[in-house]
Amino acid sequence: MPTDVERWKSEVYGNEIREHLLEFAEQGWDTIPEDERDAWFERFKWWGLYHQRNGQESYFMMRIGTPNGVLTPGQTEVVAEVADEYARGPAENPIFGNGYVDWTTRQSIQLHWIKLEDIPEIFEKLESVGLSTQQACGDSWRNIVGCPVAGKDKHEHVDALPVAMELNETFKGNDDHSNLPRKWKVSVTGCREGCGQGDINDLALEPATKEIDGEETKGFNIRIGGGLSRNEPRLARDIDVFVTPEQAAEVSGAISALFRENGDRDNRYNARIKFLMDEWGAEKFRNVLQEEFVDFELETAGDDLRSEYSYNSGYADGGHSDHVGIHEQADGNYYVGLDVLVGRMGVDDTKELARVADEYGSGEIRITQRQNVIITDVPEEKLDALQDEDLLDHYSPDPHPFMRGSIACTGTEFCSLSIVETKNRQVRYARWLKENVELPAGVEDFHIHLSGCTASCAQPQIADISLRGMKTRKDGEPVEALDIGLGGGLGENPNFAEWVTQRVPVDEVPGAIKNLLANFEERREGDETFREFVARTDEEDLAELVEPEETSYEDPMMHNTKRTWYPYAEDDSMDASPAPTHGDGTPITSDD
Amino acid sequence: MSVSLRVLDDGAWVSVNDAREVSVSELWRLDDPSFCGCELPDFVVENILDVGADGRTISARVYGQCIACGQTGVPGWVPVGRLREGEFVDIDRERVVLPVRRGDDDE
């Protein structure tokens, strides 16, 4: 039987949601009929609006899709202005203040505390510079990811940016593909370093070369069915298909149609294409695609470049592991990747980022899958002056490895699904580790990803140290805890982290990392990386090397942060919540 | 009086009449010794899978784990609240022992 969500989607979905959304915005949040709220909040996701968690009713997270992470000149400034004016909540975050921009692991932007009543003005401002929230959430083509320096990189096999943009233009607002069984995550990359992270996407186009009619042709191999969520991580599987850049949109559309027709609409937990791939296998998938969805003969896969992949790989093979730092572009200019700790940047800093990008580069900003930002097109003669800017003191192109390697999801601050506080905690962890822990000699890349739950928005399974939200008891009291996984990474032979230690109280995690690194240093052979060390060590032995212990680190958020209306409010109890509120932020009372 | 019961946002919470009533990340003490070796599993709720009503009792099937022994899985139907005149009445799930009802399809 179709789910409620499928029933709601069959009634109103896709582009047509917008007129209802704008009407509700005009009339106020409280005019949404009470018995239709679940349905409308589910539909609003399609237009990038996600109702915040319990205790924060009437406030929304807004996601802006920026294909391939590209913010063209002028767009960053508008994002900062929108955040400044509309993304301020009833309480302040102690680290980030009130009004900030989140750069996400899918090269998108998230704002919080958005009021429905402000949507028309926000849409107008965003759309005036070509930005959109369309399909940023919901069951359709999500923001397309790829190498964030596509079109500029010296390590490029093929420029994938035009392909990513063509896919975005073809499948955003396309009624044939607007109602899929579940979310549809696509990666397109043409670079040699694997920074599209195709392995963890539903559909991945990866650089390859194929001899066609006697000519070496550059294009993409296709992989299907990757994803990290729900304790069911999968790596995308090779379906033995090569496409030229000119064929990419047609074949991608055929695969999306295959998913539309064959995905499980009766069970949302089984709906992602990775489960269809489990059921069918790559060979059947290819056969059905060829026979029922494509009108020409598909080429078999070409020669790929996976042996060169370095991004987020945990291997020291000479390639880039991220985009932080100063790097020469193919045109002789430079791109400057700045480290944004856990991806969150205050509105004033975001405005400053826009100014600096405009003054020293082309004004363009690119967002990476490691929650960082890149200023592109900087002439060599401007590099010194750019590095003297105050902004780069805080968002460094040469950060400490613990700052550089940190990723965190949204967490219980706003998210319904998360079990623990994440962003602020990861900031506290990174700062403590930087002050108190020595990395073994030569270790410059060390990735720690903190995800609040098994949805895996911080991509924990592909980090050196994976942290995932959990609960435990300490001295009899329930406290927030983390599972600890080790040795995940992408590269030529990607693998997910081994979860070696479970339910470590959050205040003992920094001590566990410190001890683990000391044990690694003691046992390290030559210059091996942490991932290499984990790969050659038995799981049982690894568990013994993680020795949780209390240290000077203190965690102020040990309690159940989900039981608060906002963990950082002075009175954080649910009863103290001002939500739901009118458009002006005043509480909606029963008298209204 | 009809009552709408559903699980939303990737299993993050139970909606009763379009209001969010039960959330993941709670710690429940279950009367379900068959779930694991613990006499009363100390169970953290990671995902809500299904919700239903049996008379006036609202119950849910959830995925999670016992934090005492680490056993993961899905216990039987766990009562999460009651209906009184069509309204959801919470029970203090983190403080009372919740009796788990095994259905025919449970292992």
List the single residue in B27, B49, B65 with the smallest CB-CB distance to A478.
Answer: B27
pLDDT digits (tens, 9 = 90+) for B24-69: 999 999 999 899 999 999 999 999 999 999 889 999 999 999 999 9
pLDDT of B103 strictly over 80: no
**Same domain flag for A412 and A392:** no
pLDDT digits (tens, 9 = 90+) for A62-89: 999 999 999 999 999 999 999 999 999 9
Q: Using the Cα atoms of residue B35, residue B39, residue B45 and residue B46 in order, give the sign of their dihedral.
A: negative
What DSSP string describes A445-469? ---EEEESSTT-TT-GGGSSEEEEE
**Same domain flag for A190 and A338:** no
DSSP letter at A242?
E
CA distance A473 to chain B (A): 8
Which among A67, A52, A41 is positioned nearest to A132, based on CA atoms?
A67
pLDDT digits (tens, 9 = 90+) for A127-137: 999 999 999 99
pLDDT value at position B33?
A: 87
pLDDT value at position A326?
A: 97
Chain A touched by B50 (CB under 8 Å)? no
pLDDT digits (tens, 9 = 90+) for A429-480: 999 999 999 999 989 899 999 999 988 999 999 999 999 999 999 999 999 9
**Same domain flag for A201 and A278:** yes
Given an 8 Å threshold on Cβ–Cβ distance, is A503 in contact with B70?
yes
Q: Using the Cα atoms of residue A521, residue A526, residue A530 and residue A531 in order, give the sign of their dihedral.
A: negative
Cα of first residue to Cα of last residue in chain B, in angstroms, is 33
**Same domain flag for A295 and A349:** no
Which among A468, A498, A488 is positioned nearest to A532, based on CA atoms?
A488
pLDDT value at position A590?
A: 72
For residues B94 and A9, the model is more confident at A9
Q: Is residue A366 part of a domain?
A: yes
For residues A319 and A341, the model is more confident at A341
pLDDT of B106 strictly over 60: no
Pick the last residue of a domain from A259, A281, A308: A308
Domain coordinates in residue numbering, chain B = 5-93
Which among A424, A409, A408 is positioned nearest to A567, based on CA atoms?
A424
Given an 8 Å threshold on Cβ–Cβ distance, is A38 in contact with B9?
no
Question: Can you tell me the distance from the alpha carbon of A352 to that of A552, in angstroms, rounded to the nearest whole number?
Answer: 35
DSSP lists the bridge partners of residue A467 as A450, A484
Which among A379, A316, A329 is positioned nearest to A533, based on CA atoms?
A316
Question: Can you tell me the distance from the alpha carbon of A192 to that of A458, in angstroms, rounded to the nearest whole number?
Answer: 24
- Look up tokens 């915005």; give the residue: A25
**Same domain flag for A9 and A107:** yes
Strands A215-224 and A203-212: antiparallel
Q: How many domains does chain A have?
A: 4
- The alpha carbon of A251 is separated from its chain's Cα centroid by a whole number of angstroms, namely 25
Chain A touched by B1 (CB under 8 Å)? no
Which two three-digit tokens encode residue A56?
């924060």
Q: Is residue A242 part of a domain?
A: yes
**Same domain flag for A174 and A107:** no
Chain B touched by A4 (CB under 8 Å)? yes
List the single residue in B44, B47, B49 with the smallest CB-CB distance to A470.
Answer: B44
List the single residue in B18, B24, B42 with the smallest CB-CB distance to A38.
Answer: B18
pLDDT digits (tens, 9 = 90+) for A29-72: 999 999 999 999 999 999 999 999 999 999 999 999 999 999 99
In this prediction, residue A319 has a pLDDT band, given cuts at 50, 70 and 90, of: confident
Tell me how far apart the 2 most distant CA atoms of chain A are, in Å. Answer: 77
The enclosing H or E element of B97 equals: strand B97-99
Q: Which residues contact A459 (CB under 8 A, 6 or more apart)?
A: A105, A197, A200, A228, A369, A407, A449, A451
- Look up tokens 């069951």; give the residue: A139
Pick the last residue of a domain from A244, A277, A308: A308
Burial A464-487 (b: 16+ CB within 10 A, else e): bbbbbbbbbebeeebbbbbbbbbb
pLDDT of A302 strictly over 80: yes
Question: Can you tell me the distance from the alpha carbon of A480 to that of A470, in angstroms, rounded to the nearest whole number?
Answer: 6
pLDDT of B107 strictly over 50: no
Tell me how far apart the 2 most distant CA atoms of chain B are, in Å. Answer: 42
**Same domain flag for A203 and A342:** no
Which among A513, A381, A364, A495 is positioned nearest to A440, based on CA atoms?
A513
pLDDT digits (tens, 9 = 90+) for A205-244: 999 999 999 999 999 999 999 999 888 999 999 999 999 9
Question: Can you tell me the distance from the alpha carbon of A205 to that of A220, in angstroms, rounded to the nearest whole number?
Answer: 5
Contact A513, A486 (CB under 8 A): no
Chain B touched by A535 (CB under 8 Å)? no
Given an 8 Å threshold on Cβ–Cβ distance, is B11 in contact with A417?
yes
Q: What is the CATH number of the domain that holds A41?
A: 3.90.480.20
DSSP letter at A516?
H
**Same domain flag for A287 and A301:** yes
pLDDT of B101 strictly over 90: no
Q: Residue length, chain A? A: 592
Q: Is residue A566 part of a domain?
A: no
**Same domain flag for A290 and A304:** yes
pLDDT of B102 strictly over 90: no
DSSP lists the bridge partners of residue A473 as A478
Q: Using the Cα atoms of residue A398, residue A403, residue A404 and residue A409 in order, give the sign of their dihedral.
A: negative
**Same domain flag for A449 and A498:** yes
pLDDT value at position B1?
A: 63
Given an 8 Å threshold on Cβ–Cβ distance, is B17 in contact with A34?
yes
Given an 8 Å threshold on Cβ–Cβ distance, is A54 in contact with B8?
no
pLDDT value at position A379?
A: 98
Cα–Cα distances (Å) from B2 to B56, B77, B86, in that order, read 12, 21, 7
Interface test with B, best of A8, A417, A451, A457 (most B CBs within 10 A): A417
Instruction: Give the pLDDT mean for A546-561.
Output: 96
- Look up tokens 């069959």; give the residue: A10
Given an 8 Å threshold on Cβ–Cβ distance, is B18 in contact with A34?
yes
Using DSSP's 3-state secondary structure scheme, residue B24 falls into coil
Q: Is residue A565 part of a domain?
A: no
**Same domain flag for A114 and A28:** yes
pLDDT of A503 strictly over 90: yes
Q: What is the CATH number of the domain that holds A366?
A: 3.30.70.3340
CA distance A225 to chain B (A): 18
Write out the residue range of the structural domain in which residue A538 sits: 404-559
Question: Residue by residue, what is the 3-state secondary structure of A348-408?
Answer: HHHHHHHHHHHHHCCCCEEECCCCCEEEEEECHHHHHHHHCCCHHHHCCCCCCHHHHCEEE
Given an 8 Å threshold on Cβ–Cβ distance, is A36 in contact with B94?
no
Question: Residue by residue, what is the 3-state secondary structure of A284-344?
Answer: HHHHHHHHHHCCCCCECCCEECHHHCCCCCCCCCCCCCCCCEEEECCCCCEEEEECCHHHE
pLDDT value at position A551?
A: 98
- Could you give the residue ranges of the DSSP H alpha helices within B4-95? none
What DSSP string describes A55-86? T-TTEEEEEEB-GGGEE-TTHHHHHHHHHHHH
In this prediction, residue A592 has a pLDDT band, given cuts at 50, 70 and 90, of: low
**Same domain flag for A159 and A245:** yes
Given an 8 Å threshold on Cβ–Cβ distance, is A38 in contact with B42?
no
Look at phi and psi of residue A461 and say left if phi exceeds 0, alpha if psi is from -120 to 50, else beta: alpha
Chain A touched by B23 (CB under 8 Å)? yes
pLDDT digits (tens, 9 = 90+) for A170-206: 999 999 999 999 999 999 999 999 999 999 999 999 9
| Neighbouring C-beta atoms of residue B76, cutoff 10 Å | 18
CA distance B44 to chain A (A): 7
Q: What is the CATH number of the domain that holds A226?
A: 3.30.413.10
DSSP lists the bridge partners of residue B42 as B29
As a whole number, the mean pLDDT across chain A is 96
Which among A123, A24, A8 is positioned nearest to A64, based on CA atoms?
A123
pLDDT value at position B105?
A: 53
Which two three-digit tokens encode residue A284?
């059947």
In this prediction, residue A316 has a pLDDT band, given cuts at 50, 70 and 90, of: confident
In chain A, which residues have their Cβ closer than 8 Å to the Cβ of B4?
35, 38
Contact map slice: A 245-274 vs B, CB within 8 A: 268-269
As a whole number, the mean pLDDT across chain B is 91
Using DSSP's 3-state secondary structure scheme, residue A273 falls into helix
Q: Residue length, chain B? A: 107
Q: Is A77 exposed, middle or buried (0-12, 13-18, 19+ CB in 10 A)?
A: buried
Pick the last residue of a domain from A398, A431, A454: A398
pLDDT digits (tens, 9 = 90+) for A509-539: 999 999 999 999 999 999 999 999 999 999 8
Chain B touched by A503 (CB under 8 Å)? yes
List the single residue in B11, B13, B70 with the smallest CB-CB distance to A54.
Answer: B13
Cα atoms in the Cβ-side hemisphere of radius 13 Å centred on A449: 29
Question: Can you tell me the distance from the alpha carbon of B3 to that of A38, in angstroms, rounded to the nearest whole number?
Answer: 13
pLDDT value at position A271?
A: 95
pLDDT value at position A455?
A: 87
